[in-house]
Structure 1
Amino acid sequence: MREAMREAMREAMRSDDRVFLMGEDVGAYGGCFGVSLGLLEEFGPDRVRDAPLSESAFVGAGIGAAIAGMRPIVEIMTVNFSLLAMDQILNTAAAIQHMSGGQIRVPLVIRTTTGAGRQLGAQHSHSLEVWYAHIPRLRVIAPATVNDARHMWAAALACNDPVVVFEHTGLYNLSDSIDPERTAVDIDSARLCRSGADVSLITYGGCLPRSMAAAQTLAAEGISADVLDLRTLRPLDSTAILATVARTHRAVVVEECRRSGGLAAEVMARLTESAFYELDAPIERVCTAEVPIPYAYRLEQAAIPQVEDLVAAAHRAVG
Structure 2
Amino acid sequence: MKLINELLGIEYPIFQGAMAQISTSQLAGAVSEAGGLGIIASGGMTADQLREEIKKTREITSKPFAVNVMLMMENCDEIVDVILESNVKIITTGAGTPKKYMPKLKEAGVIVIPVVPSAKLAKKMEELGVDAVVAEGMEAGGHIGQVATMPLVAAVTKAVSIPVVAAGGFSDGRSLAAAFAMGAAGIQMGTVYLASEECPIPASFKEKVLESIETSTVVTGRRNGAPVRTIRNAMTVHYLELENQDVPREELEKLTMGSLAKAVVEGDVENGSLMAGQILGNIHSIRPVAQIHQEIIEEYRQIKLPVL
- TM-score w.r.t. the length of structure 2 is 0.30
User: Larger Rg: 1 or 2?
Assistant: 1
